[in-house]
Structure 1
């Protein structure tokens, strides 16, 4: 009886030690796999906004597959969630934003997302279903602009370039409506969520609309805008990642495909100048 009890205790001790050893091995293995890079699940998950970014990424996905790089595309309809999803590790990379927007987002949300490289330039345009020229906008006209700080500031700079308003000296690339120094025609500046502006265009006299949202609603920036940013616009869209993964081999491989001659040709042929490769 004593021998049976002793044998049982020995077996239990050995089993316990094996379980502990197995648990440590598994934990170490998981940690090692994480250190290997972003392709632990076999895919690089990239977030984009709907429209041109999505179209370009689908082309990149097609080309990347030939180089054994599997890309999972996640599409967003706003400018908030792609960065939140990236910060929360639901994405490995995103492409949709300008550097000023990324910097402001990091500041406002206490994040540290970083630029990986320059991608596309989407010249912002002023659109109207009522007039064909900005000079024809009547006094008191309702003019829409995005309500987020970066795109709203960009729109105000565009309005100044179009001769609609004058901003305070030194207001830079991120002015607010409070920085409007002159508004001789008493235009009513209506701030709305960027994606809603095309839908509200009929209710407004004009609106500054980001290219991706314009194209999504059937507008052709180079043809349909009544005023558009110049080619030297500082608002280039960039790819962003978390700082610990920005130099990951998978991202570098993705980036090589993205900035290839095949993708550049696709952009030029598809968007006819409304979207500009910035590399």
Structure 2
């Protein structure tokens, strides 16, 4: 073999090591959760759904989400869902808990985690999910748009509006947002033709979700109830005044802050939180 041929062979081998062949397609028939990386679907092997019964202070929201998820799992008409409200109040946990609960009851539904930065690849993903012929929740966490919202927001709205035509009857979108209308209210509306059209565009995306669930900041009593539920589950000593002091120091009362206090409490007494 000539020196040139040898050199080319070495270059080709080096390129293969740098860019290995793509992984085989994920099995979409059995796993509970997946992640879309913009080009392919990956299995989330360590998916662990929160205990549905342990979610406290959001009974109406979690019941509505669970009922909708069960319908989808059974192949019945179901809504796209927008879960909006204060940070740390259980929006994402509710979605994961409903997946876990439905699967625990024998459902075959799966979740696909999808970043809003990959909205341009959404049609490719939806095509793969349609072909799987299995109920899926396409989950967009912390969805929101800034001044550059127009293209991505309208693309997502088009998918939502298309319904079964675009997605099939077994794929629904669940999204969380800190804003009820997903886009910031202070976006400029300097449309030289009709400023109202810009405002309508901002609201129309949220309107496409058939089910809108609000998650609100907690009062002190509800916050203490959440801490107590966690403490009882893990057999931890519980002092309400200390839990309140923790939330005061954090400047917030939420399910997330309650769990962080439980982590602190378990660490103090040397007890594991695994079950």
Regarding TM over 0.5, the answer is no
Which has the greater radius of gyration?
Answer: 1
Q: Could you state the TM-score of these two structures normalised by the residue count of structure 2?
A: 0.28
More strand by share: 1
Structure with bigger RCO (C-alpha 8 Å, 6+ apart): 1
